[in-house]
């Protein structure tokens, strides 16, 4: 059935093992982030078999699917107070920056008869989640008063909002706060988490401070990429995932629509360049499944012309391959397109 998400499990496994070897040699444990492929069960099994230390996801709904697996789970998105009970039930560890939330987790943990581990997120400039450094001591002392909660580490998230690139200085700053927790508060820290795939470059350049012992990898495992500079990493496969869609119309048509112009199905006005008649195909995939603007045809001579909810129109005038009705075209994916496709119930997952 098409459209389908073609998943090369061997390339996926290879990426995981390559990153695990690299991290192990530096004393770093991997939290494998499953959100970009919706915690797909086949891929999660490969992660667990490969020996990653944690599974991590931003959504409780995904963590629920992992409940039976004997591996620690991390909730990546700051917990919602309204979900405190489920946070404690379905994750062993969560990343936190709000005392009110941790108080709710404390109550929930007591009700569940568990101890929930928290990692305190520090704001180091990217301006997404994290406490301001000036509030560090107060926050720590308040957390230490809570029953049912164990403060097991500190962490940072960079690049996702402010596009800040992880630097040796930022990692040293994180390390220094970890040392303070260990020395001034006599805590034994399990997790000093230096960020996501954007921290991979520091590791590759051998500039990651020794104190950092945890990284949370999603994009690098799934797409072979380091986020901040968008560079492919030598040794990692970028093409674990491919979209395949089927051709349902092939015709030569004018490049400019004929008639009075209004707006398209999404309320936008469109410009059309007159390039005469073009050979084009329609594929049975659309904006309901994927953000078309980030999709890249694997055939470098094919050009995406536009799309509506369920139709994708591609110019194949310059293609050497002879496409026919019923043929399949493939597309290379990035973070955004993979996220959409993995989430769409209309897209079949096909493993090779
Ligand atoms: C999504 C996410 C990650 C994983 O990021 P990648 O760039 O995919 O490696 C790590 N940490 C947090 C807090 C996240 O939300």
pLDDT interval class at 265 (50, 70, 90): confident
Looking at residue 74, what is its pLDDT?
A: 98
- Closest ligand 1 atom to residue 227 Cα is 7
Contact 181, 219 (CB under 8 A): no
> How far is 311 from 303, CA to CA, in rounded Å?
14
Contact 252, 332 (CB under 8 A): no
- Residue located via tokens 């009110």: 100
pTM (two decimals): 0.93
- CB of 22 closer than 6 A to ligand 1? no
- Closest ligand 1 atom to residue 221 Cα is 9
> How far is 265 from 329, CA to CA, in rounded Å?
24
* 229 pLDDT higher than 80: no
> How far is 208 from 127, CA to CA, in rounded Å?
22
- For the record, the structure tokens of 333 come out as 């994916």
Residue 45 annotated among the catalytic residues of the structure: no
- CB of 58 closer than 6 A to ligand 1? yes
Contact 32, 14 (CB under 8 A): no
* 268 pLDDT higher than 90: no
* Active-site option among 35, 117, 211, 225: 35
- CB of 340 closer than 6 A to ligand 1? no
- CB of 96 closer than 6 A to ligand 1? no
- List 243's β-bridge partners, or say none: 5, 331
- List 54's β-bridge partners, or say none: 31, 72
For ligand 1, pick from 31, 33, 36, 194 the residue to mutate: most ligand atoms within 8 Å of CB: 33
- CB of 54 closer than 6 A to ligand 1? no
- CB of 156 closer than 6 A to ligand 1? no
> How far is 322 from 75, CA to CA, in rounded Å?
47
- CB of 226 closer than 6 A to ligand 1? no
> From the CA of 159, how far away is ligand 1's center (Å)?
10
Which of 161-175, 239-253, 256-270, 310-324 is least confident? 256-270
**Protein residue whose Cα sits closest to atom 14 of ligand 1:** 76
Residue 101, SS3 per DSSP: helix
- Closest ligand 1 atom to residue 35 Cα is 1
- Closest ligand 1 atom to residue 121 Cα is 13
Which of 260-264, 315-319, 324-328 is least confident? 260-264
- Closest ligand 1 atom to residue 36 Cα is 8
Q: If 0-12 CB within 10 Å is exposed, 13-18 middle and 19+ buried, where does residue 317 land?
A: middle
pLDDT interval class at 321 (50, 70, 90): confident
- For the record, the structure tokens of 236 come out as 């990692």
Residue 39, SS3 per DSSP: coil
Q: Distance between alpha carbon 244 and the CA centroid of its chain, in Å?
A: 21
Looking at residue 224, what is its pLDDT?
A: 93
For ligand 1, pick from 196, 200, 339 the residue to mutate: most ligand atoms within 8 Å of CB: 196
3-state secondary structure 224-280: CEECCCCEECCCCCCCCEEEEEEEEEEEEEECCCCCCCCCCCCCCCCCCCCCCEEEE
> From the CA of 197, how far away is ligand 1's center (Å)?
7
List helix spans (H) across 56-130. Answer: 60-65, 84-90, 99-112
Looking at residues 4-12, what average pLDDT do you find?
A: 97
């Amino acid at each position: 059935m098409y459209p389908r998400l073609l998943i090369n499990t061997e390339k996926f496994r290879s990426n995981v093992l390559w990153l695990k070897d690299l991290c192990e040699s530096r004393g770093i444990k991997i939290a494998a982030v499953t959100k970009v492929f919706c915690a797909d069960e086949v891929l999660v099994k490969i992660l667990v078999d490969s020996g990653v230390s944690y599974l991590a996801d931003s959504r409780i709904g995904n963590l629920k699917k992992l409940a039976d697996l004997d591996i620690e789970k991390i909730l990546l998105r700051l917990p919602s107070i309204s979900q405190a009970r489920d946070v404690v039930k379905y994750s062993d560890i969560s990343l936190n920056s709000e005392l009110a939330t941790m108080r709710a987790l404390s109550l929930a943990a007591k009700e569940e008869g568990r101890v929930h581990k928290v990692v305190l997120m520090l704001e180091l400039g990217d301006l997404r989640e994290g406490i301001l450094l000036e509030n560090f001591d107060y926050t720590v002392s308040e957390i230490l008063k809570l029953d049912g909660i164990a403060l097991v580490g500190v962490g940072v998230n960079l690049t996702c909002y402010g596009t800040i690139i992880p630097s040796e200085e930022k990692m040293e700053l994180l390390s220094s706060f970890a040392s303070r927790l260990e020395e001034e508060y006599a805590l034994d820290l399990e997790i000093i988490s230096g960020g996501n795939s954007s921290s991979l470059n520091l590791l590759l350049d051998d500039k990651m401070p020794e104190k950092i012992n945890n990284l949370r990898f999603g994009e690098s495992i799934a797409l072979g990429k380091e986020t901040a500079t968008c560079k492919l990493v030598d040794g990692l496969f970028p093409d674990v995932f491919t979209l395949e869609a089927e051709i349902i119309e092939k015709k030569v048509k004018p490049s400019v629509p004929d008639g009075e112009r209004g707006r398209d199905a999404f309320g936008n006005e469109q410009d059309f360049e007159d390039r005469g008649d073009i050979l084009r195909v329609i594929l049975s995939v659309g904006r309901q499944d994927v953000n078309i603007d980030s999709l890249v045809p694997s055939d470098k001579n094919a050009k995406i012309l536009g799309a509506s909810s369920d139709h994708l129109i591609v110019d194949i005038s310059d293609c050497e391959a002879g496409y026919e009705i019923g043929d399949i075209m493939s597309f290379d994916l990035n973070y955004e397109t993979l996220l959409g496709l993995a989430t769409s119930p209309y897209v079949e997952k096909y493993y090779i």
